[in-house]
Structure 1
């Protein structure tokens, strides 16, 4: 079974001392000072110059280093080498979670080169605003991290990959949240034990988030909030406090709210067609009859398309996704319907027909598309 190894990345690869390069106290202070700087261009030139010189030297050192030398430089690579114990699996995939900062990207890119040189496929996704300078932005970034995990990790497990979280490196605030994600999405979590010589391996615990009823009870608010649609402040403030991130006058799902939503959305969507997440969408009685008796996976897909339709209408029709494909009918159908959009493409492809007036769409019937 191939492995997918997800490693959180700090900057130890850039700052640990080796035989050819020792950070002076002054240079170490510069790395600490600019740890959360997003772009190198924002660093004062007199401070950027010594950092750039060090990065060039460290890149050269890393490319020439053997495994033992790399293990001393990089906490992440130390754990990876101990995980393989000299027996690598070429079909394994590595994902490096680095901060959305100048030095975080430098570390991620350098680790990607190291792993690529050893024959591995590597991905370095960017989680926007994943840095520890501002708490509100950091919590929004954790919500994005949840979405990434939901969209990425189950697909690998379906392809029979074993998902390993390597949480040896990285910042403690990110590690802490990744430990929670590991309980839900990782088959195993690994750390370097305090001796720095042994690998601690923790199997997945039989844990599940039992929050489906909470999501069902608050679906009318959680759903538009997750989609970025307008929701009344009073309605959002009535949600359990742990589900909401309050940013001055704005509201968003907290990382825990996002985690609950992503965990239970599929089951809830598969139970049937739910009330539209926007007042810009209406369902006629004819539409309700046309969708009766669908299978759970079709209900799930239909609810997802309704979500995309709501986002399309609230964007003043600027985000017509290819998977939604809202378009006008050349010849009115089904009692004068003027528009249609995709319900699903696979199996027996279906489209929803209705009327689009201004920014309001009325769904009239689920039927075969033109030409089907």
Structure 2
């Protein structure tokens, strides 16, 4: 067997090993978690996908402002970004695309949230919705071409994906355009529109799912870093692995948090099996704060029924409310306030001590091989 891989810088190999370890951890967590955990996680992924896309476009907002905007109580930003796409049009397009996801928890949630999406259309232009859909369609073509290439591993898939992005007219990183004054002198740069890489990140999980690295195709917001589209080949390779490791690690942590949240209704409430209060709590714990009128639409319950569920959850300390623009937003209480089992007592999946020791031993063996190679 060729030992050419031994000549690779140690930092790159370590970074790629970490990325694959974290990806395996996420895969195991998703395959073994409960249905309730997956439903809450789907809400967190959907929200992360929307928030990441809007911030990549240049929109600036807080978490509470996002929820108020989604509920139709405020604009997303006080000062709109110059080149940013319409936030409402982006939200519509992203939710519509995710209704076609092969991950049924995500597809079903996206379909229900479309009906409860009340954000204002203050920045919409005549073709804003069509333009957002066109970006997603182009991302779909790029992802489909990559799927047809049959890449041999997640890291190889990422390399192919970034190559296609760097050569794409739509998704490549644009350079600032110099401007000139009336005298002909350079007066500064005009910043170009942001690369809509969010559309590719939303679909990139399909590659990992096809290769068996994930049980279903989840969106991977913030997977693509601008520094991985430029620089030397070694720098780009390490940036790609670092981004994959970061996304997988954050999602693995999120799954563990969702597992603890999923157990809280059973611990804090004495409900009939037919009650929909746990489903309402799952929605708030996953996606975030919503108005009661939105909950009526998503849950499919009457105003009186939703009010009764919220009263029960408020009494149990599982839900909190915040007044915004004269209306209440209801949100799951902070985990520190909930009576939920500790990680040691929960059924949240985790790697055994033996597995972690084996991983550390593998890295130590890699270090020894590299040291021997360099000593020759």
Q: State if a TM-score over 0.5 links the two structures.
A: no
TM-score bucket of the superposed structures, by smaller chain? under 0.3
Structure with greater proportional helix content: 2
Normalising by structure 2, we get a TM-score of 0.22
Q: Which has the higher contact order (CA 8 A, sep 6+)?
A: 2
TM-score, normalised to structure 1's length? 0.22
